[in-house]
């Protein structure tokens, strides 16, 4: 049993990591939670014990075998390398994902990469995780060539403040008021009763950073620079659960019936294969699986399939994937 640290322990992902560690009975000698000074005085309940949240990360350096990084990218860039000198850090931010020295791991796809770290292992983006968990078994059969994907991403992907913003806007709308944005708002437009076709900043081609993550991370995880990905990432007024619609071209023919059969045997996947049934974000909340439905022949690509994919973005899209990586290290 080892000491385990969680950086960002009071955020959405940090809290979920701690919850999953307890659920899966991860072998821990001592849990060491860290959060910013805003969390000073808070305690975390873990295995019926109250553990005080530390607000000076320097106290934790070298004290844990495995560290879960649940910080935003700027802070992760500053802090994670200090821990990586003496611990293995599984980092949830985008700070190190494209570093060639850092493995980018989804345990259902490339678990062997876990042994090739140099102190840091990166957890992929939530939208990339659920897409590739569903596509990898089909990729092994017919080889993915091109992906067109539109995401419908819940506000929890932007953190606790985003959840509160949506709750506030729903309440305000229910009283018949118009929403007026404030300078400290999480989103650039109202999210209550609205959708926002932007997640992240725009590049010079008009794509957002979230959209480009799906391209670059797919190539790195599949270890194939030839795969093409075009994505449009959209924020929707749902609390938890990301959804995606995919149009995928394969190098080899693959029928919907073959895809269903393959996915029914795939780790981490649950298939809705009966006519008129499909997953929704509500059906994914709190679940470990990536849910796939509406598997059908694509009408554009000769060797193509269209799919609908749903997963709990906080759980499988972040915390569970990180804990699964830690289990590989054991």
Q: What is the DSSP string of 137-205?
A: HHHHHH-EEEEEEEEEE-GGGG-HHHHHHHHHHHHHHHTTPPP---TT-SSSS--TT--BS--S-B-TT
Superfamily of domain 128-314: Dihydrodipicolinate Reductase; domain 2 (3.30.360.10)
Q: How confident is the model at residue 41, as a pLDDT?
A: 84
Q: Where are the domains of the chain?
A: 2-123+319-329, 128-314
pLDDT less than 70: residues of the chain: none
Q: What per-residue confidence (pLDDT) applies to 40?
A: 84
The one catalytic residue in 117, 126, 139, 233 is 126
Q: For residue range 41-53, what is the model confidence (pLDDT) as tens digits? A: 899 999 999 999 9
- Residue 275 has a pLDDT of 82
**pLDDT at residue 94 in the model:** 97
pLDDT of 189 reads 94
Measured at the alpha carbon of residue 89, what is the angle toward residues 69 and 318, in degrees to the nearest 5?
Answer: 45
pLDDT given at position 252: 98
Q: How far apart are CA 218 and CA 224, in angstroms?
A: 8
242 as an active site residue: the answer is yes
And the tokens for 158?
A: 């932007």
DSSP state of 319: I
Distance CA 79, CA 57 (A): 8
**pLDDT for position 77:** 97
Choice among 70, 139, 233, 242 that is catalytic: 242
Residue labelled with tokens 């209550």:
192
Q: Identify the pLDDT of residue 264.
A: 97
Give the pLDDT score at 180.
78
pTM of the entire predicted model: 0.95
Q: Which of 280, 216, 218 lies closest to 248, judged by CA?
A: 218
The residue behind tokens 């794509």 is 207
DSSP state string for 5-35: EEETTTSHHHHHHHHHHHHTT--EEEEEEE-
Q: What local confidence, expressed as pLDDT, does residue 316 receive?
A: 97
pLDDT of residue 274: 86
The CATH code of domain 2-123+319-329 reads 3.40.50.720
Q: What is the pLDDT at residue 183?
A: 77
Res 247: pLDDT: 98
Report, in angstroms and rounded to the nearest whole number, the Rg of the chain calculated over CA atoms.
20
Of all residues in the chain, the percent with pLDDT exceeding 70 is 100
């Amino acid at each position: 049993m080892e000491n385990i640290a969680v950086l960002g322990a009071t955020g959405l992902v940090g809290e979920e990591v701690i919850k999953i560690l307890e659920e899966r009975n991860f072998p821990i000698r001592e849990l060491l939670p860290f959060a910013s000074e805003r969390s000073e005085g808070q305690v975390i309940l873990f295995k019926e014990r109250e553990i005080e949240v530390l607000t000076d990360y320097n106290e934790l350096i070298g004290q844990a075998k495995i560290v879960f990084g649940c910080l935003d990218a700027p802070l992760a860039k500053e802090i994670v390398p200090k821990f990586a000198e003496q611990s293995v850090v599984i980092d949830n931010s985008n700070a190190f994902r494209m570093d060639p020295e850092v493995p980018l791991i989804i345990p259902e796809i490339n678990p062997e990469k876990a042994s090739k770290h140099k102190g840091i292992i990166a957890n992929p983006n939530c939208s990339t995780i659920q897409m590739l968990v569903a596509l990898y078994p089909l990729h092994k059969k017919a080889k993915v060539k091109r992906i067109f994907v539109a995401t419908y991403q819940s506000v929890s992907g932007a953190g606790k403040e985003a959840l509160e913003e949506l709750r506030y806007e729903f309440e305000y709308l229910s009283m018949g008021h118009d929403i007026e944005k404030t300078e400290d708002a999480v989103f650039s437009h109202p999210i209550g009763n609205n959708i926002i076709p932007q997640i992240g900043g725009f590049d010079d081609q008009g794509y957002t950073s979230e959209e480009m993550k799906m391209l670059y991370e797919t190539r790195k995880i599949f270890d194939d620079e030839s795969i093409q990905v075009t994505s449009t990432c959209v924020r929707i007024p749902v609390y938890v659960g990301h959804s995606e619609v995919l149009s995928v071209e394969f190098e080899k023919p693959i029928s919907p019936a073959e895809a269903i059969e393959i996915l029914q045997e795939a780790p981490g996947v649950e298939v809705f294969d009966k006519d008129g049934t499909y997953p929704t974000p509500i059906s994914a909340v709190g679940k470990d699986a990536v849910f796939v439905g509406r598997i059908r022949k694509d009408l554009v690509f000769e060797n193509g399939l269209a799919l609908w994919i749903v997963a709990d973005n906080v759980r499988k899209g972040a915390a569970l994937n990180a804990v699964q990586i830690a289990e590989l290290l054991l």
